[in-house]
């Protein structure tokens, strides 16, 4: 893949879950387990590549135990809907999350995407190794197509906090598929990479450490570095059926092409949250 990505500066409003990673003696509280609603509105401004996005997240969470033990007190199940709107696309999708411990989240979700055909999103390229640096994308911006894509994903997360510092490592495996307007490969602006329209598996890993500052009005400012690594694989699945030798099908996955990119980002996060029942 031909691209040089300098560090990115990101201004965003995030909703983060605070966690504690050490165990204490277990006590039981009589409070009932109830579903709680949380609404997070996030505005993101990104330099290199330049862009803005507004994200609205609605989450319903229910505890799965009544322990005050720090390792278990935030264990929960949750479900939600995320809506992301940018000048180039709209993404809306449901998700479900199971957290057996305060320090672990396991999330699955589906996210349909519509690209408006504006700016650089859904811009088609001939191969995964094509040059898609800023100059190339700017010159071809008018070729961006309108169309639908979608992804399904699984995302495990490890998280912890110590005093005013929060840390998180999140991995995500996602399968992307798009309409023929994006064939053979298209530029995906959130990933900032090329994805195969007929189907690509994308692995992302993000690590962050943020300092938390309490502001007036219940607002929070989070400041710190973020590192993310993205790997895209072109996967073809071949179904082989050996009727003369076995009664069971055999699936073989062959990785034909892959691309990988890592980057550091400096993050400033401003969080506002509305909670209710």
pLDDT in tens, 74-102: 999 999 999 999 999 999 999 999 999 99
Q: What angle do CA 211, 214, 220 make, to 5 degrees?
A: 75
In a domain, 168, yes or no: yes
Task: Answer whether residue 23 shows pLDDT above 60.
Answer: no
In a domain, 2, yes or no: no
In a domain, 1, yes or no: no
In a domain, 3, yes or no: no
- Are the C-beta atoms of residues 119 and 134 closer than 8 Å to each other? no
The number of distinct structural domains making up the chain is: 1
Give the pLDDT confidence of 165-214 residue by residue, as tens digits.
999 999 999 999 999 999 999 999 888 889 999 999 999 999 999 898 88
In a domain, 237, yes or no: yes
**Percentage of the residues of the chain whose pLDDT score is greater than 90:** 43
The backbone torsions φ and ψ at residue 136, rounded to the nearest 5 degrees and listed phi first, read -65, -45
Give the pLDDT confidence of 136-145 residue by residue, as tens digits.
888 888 888 8
Q: The tokens of 82 are what?
A: 């995320």
- Pick 127 or 48 by higher pLDDT: 127
C-alpha 130/C-alpha 152 separation (Å) is 25
In a domain, 275, yes or no: no
On the 0-12 / 13-18 / 19+ scale of CB atoms within 10 A, 146 is middle
Domain range for 174 is 8-270
Distances (CA, A) of 34 to 70, 186, 277: 19, 44, 9
In a domain, 18, yes or no: yes
Supply the pLDDT for residue 32.
56
- Are the C-beta atoms of residues 62 and 80 closer than 8 Å to each other? no
Distances (CA, A) of 30 to 68, 100, 102: 11, 20, 19
Supply the pLDDT for residue 272.
53
- Mean pLDDT estimate for the chain: 77
Q: What is the pTM of this model?
A: 0.72
In a domain, 277, yes or no: no
Supply the pLDDT for residue 242.
38
- DSSP codes, 44-63: EEEETTTEEEEEEEEEEEEE
């Amino acid at each position: 893949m031909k691209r040089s990505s300098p560090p990115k500066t990101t201004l965003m409003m995030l909703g983060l879950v605070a966690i504690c990673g050490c165990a204490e003696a277990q006590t039981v509280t009589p409070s009932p387990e109830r579903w709680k609603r949380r609404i997070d509105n996030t505005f993101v401004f990104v330099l290199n590549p330049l862009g803005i996005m507004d994200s609205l997240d609605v989450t319903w969470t229910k505890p799965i135990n009544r322990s005050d033990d720090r390792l278990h007190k935030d264990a929960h199940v949750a479900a939600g809907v995320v809506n992301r709107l940018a000048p180039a696309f709209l993404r809306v999708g449901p998700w479900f999350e199971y957290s057996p411990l305060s320090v672990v989240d396991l999330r699955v979700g589906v996210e349909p995407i519509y690209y408006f055909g504006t700016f650089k999103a859904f811009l088609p390229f001939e191969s995964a190794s094509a040059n898609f640096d800023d100059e190339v994308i700017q010159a071809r911006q008018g070729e961006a197509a309108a169309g639908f894509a979608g992804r399904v994903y699984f995302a495990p997360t490890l998280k912890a906090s110590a005093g005013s510092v929060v840390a998180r490592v999140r991995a995500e495996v996602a399968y992307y598929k798009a309409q023929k307007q994006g064939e053979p490969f298209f530029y995906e602006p959130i990933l900032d990479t090329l994805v195969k329209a007929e189907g690509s598996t994308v692995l992302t890993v993000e690590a962050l450490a943020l300092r938390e500052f309490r502001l007036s009005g219940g607002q929070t400012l989070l400041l710190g570095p973020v590192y993310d690594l993205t790997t895209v694989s072109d996967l073809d699945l071949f179904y082989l059926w050996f009727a003369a030798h076995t009664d069971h099908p055999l699936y073989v996955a062959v990785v034909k092409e892959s691309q990988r990119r890592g980057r550091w980002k400096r993050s400033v996060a401003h969080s506002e949250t509305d909670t209710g029942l």
